[in-house]
């Protein structure tokens, strides 16, 4: 089912013209058709005052935030997007589509040295985390998903393994309904990352770039690099503008090596998110010692990633919000996606961690 959804999406994608600055090379990915526009982005909703994000309680819990979406539309929080304020800054552990009403959002802390409220509510950060952090965070979530999937397969009561195909399908459907009926905290817990690993990466990046932060906040590293990040974004702006009408994603290479592919449909939603993503890509490039990309065919490399994706194994489960969360894996790449109302609206891929 989901393999066909991915295949249908891939069949509509087209590789655009590569753009480069130093070691960073970005290949826009365009789409031959569009999906309906049925949600708004986090920054839009926060700006309009239609979504309220707070700690889950007065005491707070590091891995969870409480969200109240006033509507009328679902709100999409992209993987790695930063939320600033309250007791400490956080990033989203997975792309989550927030329904109207209350949702528990799974997050990781990116400000280890603060645990006191500077505000009651969170505001939108300026970036989505660099691909290296998102890759390692996603790997931990995917390992948890795969472990639970194996457990279900070896438990006849849960999987219907010994039944006929129809019985197995009915068991899987019942399992999906059960997941959706669980408490939001239980569902959010399934998307917990390795908090210690996240802090280690935040400290590593700060040390590599020589950033100073009294509270060990990733946001301070981005702020210290603001001038260079803005310069890199400005280099890519004309090319992105020329291909913006139907661009739904970007394939990212640093030093000729694949580091990330992000997709978000429809194109008009991707165009609003792209600046946050570019900040993360640009920071990834600053973490490498190369001053320029090694010679390589970026378009061909992008097509190889798509070909690899066609062979991915897929584990699906109820998302922390609306829709179904997918965890994908091949011998060379891994990542996550979000399917909602029959459409793959988000996909993020990374090179397989060695």
Of the chain, the percentage scoring pLDDT greater than 90 comes to 77
In degrees and rounded to multiples of 5, residue 313 shows phi and psi of: -85, 145
pTM of the model: 0.90
| pLDDT above 80 for 104 | yes
Band of residue 170 on the pLDDT scale cut at 50, 70, 90: very low
**Mean pLDDT (whole number) for 267-278:** 95
Is the predicted pLDDT of residue 289 greater than 50, yes or no?
A: yes
Residue pair 279/222 in contact (Cβ under 8 Å)? The answer is yes
Other beta carbons within 10 Å of 164: 9
Q: What is the DSSP letter of 225?
A: T
Q: Are 105 and 96 in contact (CB under 8 A)?
A: yes
pLDDT exceeds 50 at position 349: yes
CA distances in angstroms from 268 to 36, 103, 265, 343, listed in the order given: 10, 25, 8, 16
Question: What pLDDT, on the 0 to 100 scale, is given for residue 249?
Answer: 96
328 against 243, higher pLDDT: 328
Question: Given pLDDT bands bounded at 50, 70 and 90, which one contains residue 161?
Answer: very low
Residue 254: per-residue pLDDT = 96
């Amino acid at each position: 089912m989901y393999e066909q959804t991915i295949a249908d999406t891939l069949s509509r994608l087209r590789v655009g013209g590569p753009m480069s600055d130093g070691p960073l090379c970005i290949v826009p990915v365009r789409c031959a058709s569009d999906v309906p526009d049925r949600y708004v982005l986090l920054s839009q909703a926060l700006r309009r005052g239609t979504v309220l994000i707070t700690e889950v309680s007065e005491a707070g819990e590091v891995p969870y935030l409480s969200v109240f979406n006033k509507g009328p539309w679902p709100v999409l929080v992209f993987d790695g997007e930063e939320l600033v304020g309250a007791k400490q800054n956080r990033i989203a552990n997975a792309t989550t589509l927030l329904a109207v009403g209350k949702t528990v959002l799974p997050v990781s802390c990116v400000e280890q040295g603060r645990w006191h409220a500077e505000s009651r509510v969170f505001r939108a950060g300026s970036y989505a985390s660099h691909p290296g952090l998102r890759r390692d965070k996603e790997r931990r979530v995917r390992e948890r998903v795969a472990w639970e999937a194996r457990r279900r397969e070896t438990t006849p009561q849960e999987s219907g393994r010994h039944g006929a195909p129809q019985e197995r399908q009915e068991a899987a459907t019942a399992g999906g309904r059960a997941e959706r009926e669980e408490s939001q905290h239980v569902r959010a817990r399934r998307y917990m990352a390795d908090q210690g690993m996240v802090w280690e990466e935040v400290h590593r990046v700060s040390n590599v770039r020589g950033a100073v932060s009294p509270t060990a906040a990733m946001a301070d590293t981005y702020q210290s690099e603001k001038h260079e990040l803005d310069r890199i974004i400005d280099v890519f702006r004309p090319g992105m503008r020329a291909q913006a009408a139907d661009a739904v994603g970007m394939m990212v290479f640093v030093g000729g090596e694949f580091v990330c592919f992000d997709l978000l449909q429809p194109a008009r939603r991707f165009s609003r998110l792209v600046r946050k993503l570019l900040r993360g890509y640009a920071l990834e490039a600053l973490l490498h010692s190369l001053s320029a990309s090694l010679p390589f065919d970026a378009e061909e490399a992008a097509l190889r990633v798509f070909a690899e994706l066609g062979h991915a194994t897929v584990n699906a489960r109820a998302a922390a919000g609306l829709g179904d969360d997918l965890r994908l894996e091949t011998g060379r790449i891994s990542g996550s996606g979000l399917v909602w109302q029959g459409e793959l609206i988000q996909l993020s891929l990374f090179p397989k961690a060695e």
